Structure 1
Amino acid sequence: MESLDLRVLTDALAWRRGGHGVTLVTVVETWGSAPRPPGALLAVRDDGVVSGSVSGGCVEDDLIARVKAGERTRLPSMIAYGVSKEEAARFGLPCGGTLRLVQEPLIDTAWVGQLLARTAAHELVARTLTLATGEVQLSGASRDARMAFDGSRLTTLFGPRWRILLVGAGQLSQAVAQMAQLLDFEVLVCDPREEYATTLDVPGAVRVAGMPDDAVRDLQPDLHTAIVALTHDPKLDDMALLEALRSGAFYVGALGSSRNQARRKERLAEHFGLTEAELARLHGPVGLRIGARTPAEIAVSILAQIIECKNSVAQTASAPGCSVA
């Protein structure tokens, strides 16, 4: 599985190679209750076929009509929707929301292939578009980089800004790994048990060799890292959690019942000296309480909790860790 924005670029590249004209549209600014955030990407083919989204649908319909009517230029340009309440209502933008978009004809496709290759190698890439010339430049980016637009240059990010280390390669881990990639996480899986690790079959997920505690240390977790222990084996989970709870990871979780979590905290405090503040960072039982039963449902609950913490960290960027509700 892959990022939805990368899927848009993959489709756009295939369409151009097939002889079609393609227009890329990027959300650059929003006001009010805009349906899609800055950075959202849409590709419109010359016959009206689309990939991606920049709104709830009505804006896409207008963009399709523009493209099919031949409103295409050789240079990028700005377009705005919802500058008045009447227009916002016309295009289905709630509460008077407003969108500013950059639309650009996809002429030179070399950068698309390069970007897809670099992100496939788990590299975070910044793409900078100069509106006056249509020139595109690619460069490496840090995990704390953000989208930027100054009216003349637009820089957007592609690739995994966030990463998740899963301790354990069982069925639940595979479900989490698949879903996490759709959410733009780089997925790392560590499981020294060969009988589990050899069955790991999730395209895009990277297997990390060695013991889980070593894997956590080598990863050097930061505010863009989540760590989840899913083996249900204290010998593996506890050592990973020991390192994770002392790290800068924004989220640390572990599978197990409330009773097992209480015992785990006692062990970590008694034998390894973890403080109450460090132990309070542990999400366990892991995931939101949605009555999950199957591996897929549990994976949804885990990732929902991680997204809740991720968005909180992204907004505050204050201190490591997400408080346990």
Structure 2
Amino acid sequence: MENLDVVVLRTLLDWRRAGRHALLATVVRTWGSSPRPVGSIMAMCEDGAVVGSVSGGCIEDDLIYRFTRAYTAPASSEAAHAQQIPSGPPQFVKYGITADEAHRFGLPCGGTLELLLEFDPDAASLQALVEQLARGQLVRRSVCLDDGAASLQASTEPADLSVSATELVNTFGPEYRMLMIGAGQLSEYVATMALFNGFAVTVCDPREEYRGAWAVPGVTVVSDMPDDVVTAFQPDRRSCVIALTHDPKLDDLALLEALKSEAFYIGAIGSRRNNQARHQRMVEHLDQTPETLARLRGPIGIYIGSKTPPEIAVSVMAEILAVKNGVKLPRDMEVSVAKDGLALAHNDRGALVCGMPRAGD
């Protein structure tokens, strides 16, 4: 599944190439609580079709009402004509300025957001942008506020949206990257969720029997040894590395290479016992210390009682997103802590049923 921004831009490009009027809305400022962050985009066609979002739906409904009634009302109506998607330079529009408007548009209490509306963006420029994004490039798009002309420039790192008196600058592309070691079934579920959360995903597995069955489109699959792949991947602070093979020959050296990087998340699948064995193995045979292994997560995921590969993938992806977003999870959501608690509870219940004293009594 493509990144949502790419889906929006590709759909907008299709509308414009077909000669249809359309607009591109970008969240440029927010005050207080806001349903969508700065940089979020939405495209709307002349017939009212919408892709992407800038709110929970109410603002989208208002934009449809304001700019597309011409295509549902009688063509001779002056009121209808006034509702067409206009041509001309971009326009700023604010929502939620008053408490009544915040309620009307479904904004949180005190929430206000400002949009920039671009009318009939140039198809050739959109096509160039979509093609660069399809190649996995990071692209800086600048929009002149006087006439709506857009220019593109390759970017080396993600940047926050900026807006001045003369231009809007928004950076598009795979802001976050994920490298997974192992092309098994669990990897397919994690990769699918990572893709629709905006990650560019690479899967490494030198085992042909696993790699040959890979079935998730949009993922880069490589066959070199994992530690070499991690080195070439050059993980940065917007990268995560996950080992999912359960095979120390594949996982251990790759994880050590990842620990030399700034990757925001490094982890390996496995039970508490496997995780302890991994740490012990690395200390005894790979010259590591508890301090050098402190960033290595395991067992990975948050505890939701998951048993099946899809549920385990949800658990893993939830933890990755929490770390990415700077959310500190409660300790009782950590897999090892939660399972220890469950085991203790089960032991306590068993001891009471059997009439035996608990350990330590």
| Fold similarity call, TM over 0.5 | yes
Q: Which segment drifts farther, 136-145 or 189-198?
A: 136-145
> Corresponding residue for 2:189?
175
Cα deviation code 1:187-236 (max 9, x no counterpart): 01110001111111221111123100111111221111100000111111
Distance between the aligned counterparts of 1:21 and 1:43, measured in 2? 11
Are 2:142 and 2:170, in contact at CA under 8 Å, matched by a contact in 1? yes
Residue number among 305, 309, 316 corresponding to 1:295 in the alignment:
309
Based on CA coordinates, which of the two structures has the bigger radius of gyration? 2
Give the corresponding residue for 1:229. 243
1:61 shift after superposition: 0.9
Match of residue 191 from structure 1: 205
Identify which of 101, 105, 112 aligns with 2:115: 101
2: CA distance, partners of 1:42 / 1:244: 36
Work out the number of aligned pairs and report it: 315
Q: In the alignment, which residue of structure 1 is the partner of 2:276?
A: 262
Larger displacement relative to structure 2 (65-74 or 22-31): 65-74
Aligned residue for 1:18? 18
- 1:71 deviates by 4.9
Structure-1-length-normalised TM-score: 0.93
Counterpart secondary structure, 1:56: coil
Is 1:89–1:96's contact at 8 Å kept on the other side of the alignment? no
Which deviates more, 272-281 or 258-267?
272-281
d(CA) in 1 for partners of 2:288 and 2:41?
A: 44
Which deviations, in whole Å up to 9, do the C-alpha atoms of 1:116-147 show, x marking residues without a partner? 11111111111111111211011111234222
- Which segment drifts farther, 154-163 or 95-104? 154-163
| Contact 2:139–2:152 (CA under 8 A) maintained in structure 1 | yes
Q: Distance in 2 between matches of 1:16 and 1:144?
A: 27
Specify the alignment match of 1:49 in structure 2.
49
Q: What letter is aligned with 2:2? A: E
Match of 2:75 in 1: none
Alignment-derived partner of residue 319 in structure 1: none
Change (3 A) 1:119 1:71: closer
Judge conservation of contact 1:165–1:188 (CA < 8 Å) in 2: yes
Q: 1:307 aligns to what? A: 321
- In 1: Cα distance, 2:272 partner to 2:236 partner: 27
Equivalent residues of 1:124, 1:157 under 8 A apart? yes
CA contact (8 A) 1:165 1:189 kept: yes
Gaps of 5+ in 2: 69-82, 328-335, 338-361
Distance of 1:86 and 1:242 partners within structure 2? 55
Show structure 1 runs of 5+ residues with no match.
314-323
Contact 1:44 1:67 survives alignment (8 Å) = no
Quick one: distance in 1 between partners of 2:166 and 2:20? 27
Q: Does 1:158 align with 2:185?
A: no
CA distance in 1, matches of 2:102, 2:307: 42
Query: Matched residues in 2 for 1:45 and 1:32: separation?
Result: 30
CA distance, structure 1, for counterparts of residue 305 and residue 139 of structure 2: 38
Task: Answer yes or no: is 1:276 the counterpart of 2:276.
Answer: no
Please provide the CA RMSD for this pair: 1.6
User: Residue in 2 aligned with 1:7?
Assistant: 7
- Among all aligned residue pairs of Structure 1 and Structure 2, give the percentage whose two residues are the same amino acid: 50
Q: Which residue of 2 aligns with 1:40?
A: 40
TM-score, normalised by the number of residues in structure 2: 0.84
Distance 1:247 1:49 in 2: 44
Distance 1:60 1:197, change over 3 A: same
CA distance in structure 2 between the aligned counterparts of 1:43 and 1:10, rounded to whole angstroms: 10
Q: Partners in 1 of 2:268 and 2:119 — Cα distance?
A: 47
CA contact (8 A) 2:121 2:148 kept: no
Structure 2: distance between partners of 1:104 and 1:41: 11
Partner of 2:135: 121
Deviates more, 1:224-233 or 1:200-209: 200-209
- Partners in 2 of 1:64 and 1:243 — Cα distance? 51
Secondary structure at the residue paired with 2:292? helix
| One-letter amino acid matched to 1:18 | A
Instruction: Tell me if the contact between 2:87 and 2:120 (Cα under 8 Å) persists in the aligned partners.
Output: no
Partner residue, 1:320: none
